Structure 1
Amino acid sequence: MSKSMSSGQQVLIELRKMIISGEIPGGARVAEIPTAEMLGVSRQPVRMAFRLLEQEGLLLKNPTRGYTVREISPKLIQDALEVRGVLEGLAAKKLAEKGLNTQQQDQLMQCITQIDPIFKKTELSNEDIETYHHYNTIFHNTIIQGSDNVAIVQALSKNNQLPLASAQALTYDKNNPLSEFRRLHHAHIQHCAIFNALKNRDSARAESLMREHSHVVTLGDMMRSIFNSDLPS
């Protein structure tokens, strides 16, 4: 890992990707020092990443020392994303019915305008990925908190403990930069459509778009499976 990948957020994204892809397999024991050496970083960002990955349900803390990688199935990820879509869709519906206040509208618009410039290139840098992650998290939290529904907030908090269920659980596969660029750009376009539905108080469309948006996590894998499949002769 290069020095440009030494920030805590980038270490977290890299480790998350390695676990989800199976590069670090389920059942494997991981510890700070060998992981830091493998990534070429200090122990501190690895320690922080381990704690966050435990909260996301990707790591299980051992009784003595270190962590064990959780066994993750595609079904578990799909189930968690489906529940997230239902809950975030409901949040968007509630917010659209109430209507955006000035602060919410400004905050969502800022997220869109801050993210948009990173897609004027053909490949995302580490800094671009951090920018996307930062404003993507704010975008989702604004809608969730804007629903003014404690039950939705608490249910999402519980569901976020499952693999890839949280909007903060961003992955980026540097081995597939084109499909990852397309995936995140598609998500950005969805943000624009969601914002427009919220602004127009179109609750049905806001809910539908938000539910569909939850599946952008697996869009890259879906695209690769289509293009890598054996086509009929």
Structure 2
Amino acid sequence: MNGTTQQTIVQALRTRILAGELAPGERLVEAQLAERLGISRTPLRYALSVLATEGLVERSGARGYTVRRFSVTDVLNAIDVRGVLEGLAARTVAERGVDAALARALEDCLREGDAIFAAGVLDSEAETRYAAMNGRFHALIVEAAHNLAVSAALGLNDKIPFVSPGTVVFDKTAQQRQFMMLSYAHRQHHAIVGALVNGEGARVEALMKEHTHISKESLNLSVDRLHLSAVAAAGAAAGAA
């Protein structure tokens, strides 16, 4: 099974969790879930391991996982934290200078994003490609900062579901609006790269903070259907720990 198909399964599981089809606190047994989804256990096991690193599920027994409980407020706050940390990383990169290898890698991301949005619609394959490209774009900037404290803090922050830039919430009920928001986010990618290359530290820091608002708006499209937000305060605190 290729990587694209595996990522499609990951995205499908995210969507089911977001919609409440896989409920908070529900135990996911590999054999039962594989039969329910009509897929083999090997790609499912991979998908669950990815969702565990994202904080959407957690280990429960030898061959199972449990859907984590968390609140929308937890997610929105963590997205704000990501903006601050990534802004610091981007400023560091801009002030230090962008080398040729980083410039090429960022330009590759821009070209891929341009191609994705040129189609005028995001199908399932395009959604997977966009999420992967977005995660790669942000990771390039953070890694180029060579700041272990920032990288460690982001790694911890990304344990809160839907916060990592490689995890994009796609809402099938608002596809056109989401297409417009994400295409705008990609135009921001172009502005960020321009500021980095031009050494505009303060500007790129502000752009990175502003950029996270798209993540929040995309999530807010689904808040009314985000069943995982309906948790007690104690449960939310435990889920964010």
- Shorter-chain TM-score tier: 0.7 to 0.9
Residue number in structure 1 paired with 2:197: 199
Determine the C-alpha separation between the residues in 2 that align with 1:17 and 1:86.
27
Alignment deviations for residues 34-87 of structure 1 (CA, whole Å, 9 cap, x no partner): 322333322222111111111111112113541111112011101211111111
Matched, 1:116 2:125: no
Residue number in structure 2 paired with 1:228: none
What's the TM-score once normalised by structure 2's chain length? Answer: 0.84
Alignment deviations for residues 95-153 of structure 1 (CA, whole Å, 9 cap, x no partner): 11111111111110110011101212232122222321232222111100111211111
Aligned CA RMSD, in angstroms, stands at: 2.2
Determine the C-alpha separation between the residues in 2 that align with 1:154 and 1:93.
17
Residue number in structure 2 paired with 1:190: 188
Q: Which runs of 5+ in 2 are unaligned?
A: 224-241
Residue number in structure 2 paired with 1:89: 87
Cα distance, 1:221 vs structure 2: 4.4
1:213–1:23 Cα change, 3 Å: farther
Determine the C-alpha separation between the residues in 1 that align with 2:82 and 2:53.
16
Amino acid at match of 2:75: I
Q: 1:140 aligns with which of 115, 138, 141?
A: 138
Once structures 1 and 2 are overlaid, which stretch shifts more, 28-37 or 108-117?
28-37
1:45–1:215 Cα change, 3 Å: farther
1:221–1:87 Cα change, 3 Å: closer
CA contact 1:14–1:171 (8 Å) conserved in 2:
no
What's the TM-score once normalised by structure 1's chain length? Answer: 0.87
Where do 1:147-166 residues align within 5 Å?
147-166=145-164
CA contact 2:169–2:219 (8 Å) conserved in 1:
no
Residue number in structure 1 paired with 2:65: 67
Once structures 1 and 2 are overlaid, which stretch shifts more, 64-73 or 212-221?
212-221
CA contact 1:179–1:220 (8 Å) conserved in 2:
no
State how many pairs are aligned: 222
Once structures 1 and 2 are overlaid, which stretch shifts more, 70-79 or 118-127?
118-127
Residue number in structure 2 paired with 1:210: 208
Residue number in structure 2 paired with 1:30: 28
Residue number in structure 2 paired with 1:230: none
Amino acid at match of 2:153: A
Amino acid at match of 1:44: T
Counting aligned pairs with the same residue, the percent is 38
Residue number in structure 1 paired with 2:51: 53
Secondary structure class of the residue paired with 1:176: helix
Amino acid at match of 1:212: E
Once structures 1 and 2 are overlaid, which stretch shifts more, 20-29 or 203-212?
20-29
Residue number in structure 2 paired with 1:172: 170
Determine the C-alpha separation between the residues in 1 that align with 2:94 and 2:200.
6
